[in-house]
Structure formats: structure tokens, C-alpha cells
Structure 1
Amino acid sequence: MLVFQIKPMEQVCIDPTRLEALYAQLDSANAEDILCRALEDVALRLRHCATLFEQGNLEDLRKNTRTLIAVGDQIGMSAMNRVATDVVICIDSRDDVALAATLSRLLRVGERSLCAVWNAGDNSL
């Protein structure tokens, strides 16, 4: 018996103008501090999304995901924000199957977006 394991690789889309604007408005040290805090917040919120889903707490999952969108917007995580918006739509439509699939995609896109923004921030310094 053959067993295949599928490992989806999600494309991420980062808006570099958001990072450029951040670094243009602030000195490098302050911009890097804000970027690091935002990245940490996104990482924590992604983890919290998974926990809230496992607990069946859709109300808090919706709130957490909306905040994730706002933080992601500040640092140009446009692909993650599109998927997070889809998660909110799934919650609002009470489509549990679509929510499970879309949340899994959000976690994948979110992780890759964190790496992409971190690398873009390193290049901005």
C-alpha cells in the first residue's frame, strides 16, 4: 500500500511599500522594534487561532482573526490578510468544514508570511 503525504506550499504576497513606509517614517531602530513586535504579535495570534478553533470558541476566534488582519496590514502581509478575511467569512457563514480548511491555510500562509516579512525587514536595514 502506498501512502502519499501532501505538503501544500503556499505562495505569499508581501506589500513592500508598507515596510518602506515604516522605515521612512521612523529611524531604523524604532522601525525594527515595531516590526519585531508586529511579527511576534502575528505569530502569537496565529497560534491562538489554532487553540480557539480546537476549543470551538468561534466568537473569540473571529475577534482574534480580525485583529490579526489589522496587524498584518500594518506590515504588508497581504496574502495572509486575504486568507484571514476568508476565515472570518467562514465563521460568519457557520461553515465548519470550510473553516477548518481555511484556518489550516491561514496557518500555512501566516508562517511563510512571517518569514517573508522578516527577510524583507532585514533587507531594509
Structure 2
Amino acid sequence: MDSRRVAEIVAELGETAAQHVIGLALEQLATALAAVDQALDRADRAQAVAHAERISRLAWQIGLLSLAGVAMDLGSAAERGDMPALAAIRARLMRVGNRSLTAIWDRTALA
């Protein structure tokens, strides 16, 4: 997590508005993570790529750099059709996603 990015958001918007914006982004990230998982369960790689791109953009905006990177890796593996890599990156995306959401939620709750 890029603490500077979170601090920038708080400085730009104020604490209350920043918590609201970050909270909405967290909800959207959680939804997109579930959507990636469901798309891959259906073997719908195109939808998985679309949801991974959404995760990457949202994560980058709120300072979740590791999550953004893993989402980009998942999209690349899905586009290449590299199924062993896709399975490994999917598991990593879920781990990093859950850890990142918890970390930023805890950070903004303490702010």
C-alpha cells in the first residue's frame, strides 16, 4: 500500500470525503475481485481480463500498487492463454486482494 497516495487523497478531499471515496473504491474492488473469480470459473477469459483491468485502475488510484500489478499480470496471462500461470496468478490475486483491502480499510478507519 502506498501510504503517500492515501495521504494525498485525504489532503485533497478532506478526511470524511476521502473515507467515502476510498470506501466506494474498496466496494468496487471487492466486487471486481469476485467477478474475476466467477469469470475464470466460467472459463470466460475475456471477462476476466476486463475485470482485471478494472481492478488495476481502481487499485492504482487508491495506492494499492501490488494489487494493481497482480491484476495486470492476470490479464496478461489470460490474454496469452497461459493456463498454468493464470491459475497461479488467480490464487495470488485473491490473496493480495484480500490483504490489500483489509490493509487500506484498517488504514482509513484509523485516519
Report how many residues are paired: 111
Q: Give TM-score, length-normalised by structure 1.
A: 0.85
Give me the whole-angstrom Cα distance separating, in 2, the residues matched to 1:71 and 1:81. Answer: 8
The alpha-carbon deviation at position 79 of structure 1 amounts to 1.0
Q: 1:90 aligns with which of 77, 81, 100?
A: 77
Alignment partner, residue 74 of structure 1: 61
**1:35 aligned to 2:35?**
no
**TM-superposed deviation, 1:66:** 0.3
When you count helix as a share of all residues, which structure comes out higher? 2
Tell which deviates more after alignment, 61-70 or 114-123: 114-123
Give the Cα–Cα distance (whole angstroms) in 1 for the partners of residues 64 and 55 of structure 2. Answer: 10
Structure 1: where are the runs of 5+ without partners? Answer: 1-13
Structure 2: any 5+ residue segments left out of the alignment?
A: none
What residue number does 1:21 align with?
8
Say which SS state the counterpart of residue 63 (structure 2) adopts.
coil
Q: CA deviation digits over 1:45-86, x for unaligned, max 9?
A: 111111000001111110110011000011111111111111
**TM superposition score normalised by structure 2:** 0.95
Aligned to 1:9: none
Shift >4 Å, 4+ stretches: none
RMSD of equivalent CA atoms: 0.9
Bigger CA radius of gyration: 1
Q: Cα offset for 1:122?
A: 2.0
Q: Find the aligned partners of 1:27 and 1:18 in 2 and give their Cα distance.
A: 13
Offset at 1:92?
Answer: 1.9
Q: Residues 16-70 of structure 1, C-alpha deviation per residue, up to 9 Å, x if partnerless?
A: 1110010000121111110100001111111111100000111111011001100
